[in-house]
Structure 1
Amino acid sequence: MPTPTTGPSPGPTPGPSAADRRRVDRAAAGIALYAGAFGATFGAVSTGSGVDLGQTMLLSLLMFTGASQFAFVGVVAAGGTAVAAVSAALLLGVRNAFYGIPVSRLVRPRGVRRPLAAHLVIDETTAMAVAERDPALGRRAFWITGVVLCVLWNAGTLAGALLGRGVDAEALGLDVAAPAVFLALLWPQLRERTAPVTALLGAAVALVLIPLAPPGVPVLAAAAVALVLGLARPGARPGARPGARPGARA
């Protein structure tokens, strides 16, 4: 009998289109430009609070999370101790641990990339990564946003620190730019069926705790609500690809 013939083997799965890559790159560049301006604000506030240039640059390079950095210099400016300043910064920075769960599943860093990826897990990189349905685009969004934002954040910090008090955050509207950009990045996630309920419950918990708990605790509590509801969602299993249907092959 003749040997049955088989059809042509399927080729490699096509990657993201050039248009999608350019879209992600443009979004990352826009966020990085804002970060440079916001970093200048931090540099000016930090040196104006009595933190010297070297310490200010180390905060932006090693801490690299705006809210924690502002909390640190805010406590220093108010005459607080180093322990109090570090505690405030750590309390706000703990939220990045929650971000690490979806990011690690998507980016899957290996080797020397693991500590670098951990350093780049912040609000903006996480939102950019998880907003993409295509895992390859999500990984590109994470790395492009993280690297460019880190470079411009530190460049902005240096410029602001050298200018001193020459940057007025409120006059430029930079004090509301960060939450506005973050909200815009997360908005597409409301298409998920359970997302509005999660967002409302998290916001309610945070609002209740704001007058009762120390700064940072309401944010952590809201993040915990989102984490619990996310893990309880059908199909939210370890290793599941973001945006994949329950039961779909990864």
Structure 2
Amino acid sequence: MSSSDQSIRGMAGDVGSIASAVLVVGVSYGALASEAGLPAWLVIGLAVTVLAGSAELLFIASILAGAAPLAAAAGALLVNLRNGVYGIAASRFLQGGWTRLLAAHFVNDETVAYATARRDPALRRRAFWVLGWAIFVSWPLGATIGVILGTVTDVSALGLDAVFPTILFAMVLGAVPRKPAAIIVACGALLAVAVTPFVPPGAAPLIALLSLVLLWKRRARRG
């Protein structure tokens, strides 16, 4: 078996695991949205058109906390600003043309982190698109299941949004080969996992950015 075939087989397993985790968090999102009183068509529509778990979870959590819809939407948009940085990273290996419009919709924590773990540009593109389509299916599917289950059980009490930072932690450890950088990334991922039970959904990835202070101090010492 060639190394390319092995890479594709490994990708299938990875994508299946990540998509399954996304589906599980989607169930939590759907249940929360149902509890907030949003109609099923709106919950599923948001899952398809926004396709941003952290932003959608934060929006629903804000509504449940009594925030005005515009304020909740503003907070969700603020969380999603990080996708602009992800888009810059993805533009280095994605091809031009009309497909970039669809690629922009698929840019998120998981797709960019998983794609950049590959060294070959062609494999990066393949990883991005395969995982992107998998999330495009699994997230709305999970939301649909959550809306249904939300009428009969308190799925949100399980704290399933912690799956996201855990999955990212596993991915970035393989993507960062240098030990000092890997330690910094690991600190950020562990911080996200640790604060998840105590902060609003979607806030953990932003708090994890505090680990960049370690990188800044390290570069300052070099300078």
**103, 116, 120: which is aligned to 2:106?**
120
**3, 13, 28: which is aligned to 1:41?**
28
**CA distance in structure 1 between the aligned counterparts of 2:166 and 2:188, rounded to whole angstroms:** 18
Number of the residue aligned with 1:20: 7
**123, 135, 143: which is aligned to 1:137?**
123
Matches within 5 A, 1:1-250: 17-108=4-95, 110-165=96-151, 166=153, 168-171=155-158, 174-192=160-178, 195-196=181-182, 199=185, 219=206, 222=209, 225=212
**CA distance in structure 2 between the aligned counterparts of 1:216 and 1:103, rounded to whole angstroms:** 23
- Bigger share in helix: 2
Q: Which amino acid aligns with 1:38?
A: V
Cα offset for 1:194?
5.7
Secondary structure, aligned partner of 1:191: coil
Cα offset for 1:21?
0.7
**CA distance in structure 2 between the aligned counterparts of 1:223 and 1:96, rounded to whole angstroms:** 17
Cα offset for 1:162?
2.0
Aligned pair count?
204
Secondary structure, aligned partner of 2:66: coil
CA pair 132-74 structure 1, distance change in 2 beyond 3 A: same
Identity of aligned residues (%): 33
Report Cα offsets for 1:126-158 as digits up to 9, x if no partner.
111011122222111111101011101111111
Listed as ranges, the gaps of 5+ residues in structure 2 are 193-201
Equivalent pair of 2:27/2:155 in contact (CA under 8 Å):
no
CA pair 83-76 structure 1, distance change in 2 beyond 3 A: same
Which of the pair has more CA radius of gyration?
Answer: 1
Secondary structure, aligned partner of 1:79: coil
Report Cα offsets for 1:103-141 as digits up to 9, x if no partner.
110122x32211110010111101110111222221111
Report Cα offsets for 1:87-110 as digits up to 9, x if no partner.
1100110011111111110122x3
Report Cα offsets for 1:153-179 as digits up to 9, x if no partner.
1111111112224252443x5232111
**CA distance in structure 2 between the aligned counterparts of 1:197 and 1:30, rounded to whole angstroms:** 24
Listed as ranges, the gaps of 5+ residues in structure 1 are 1-14, 207-214, 233-250
Q: State TM-score, norm by structure 2.
A: 0.79
Q: State TM-score, norm by structure 1.
A: 0.71
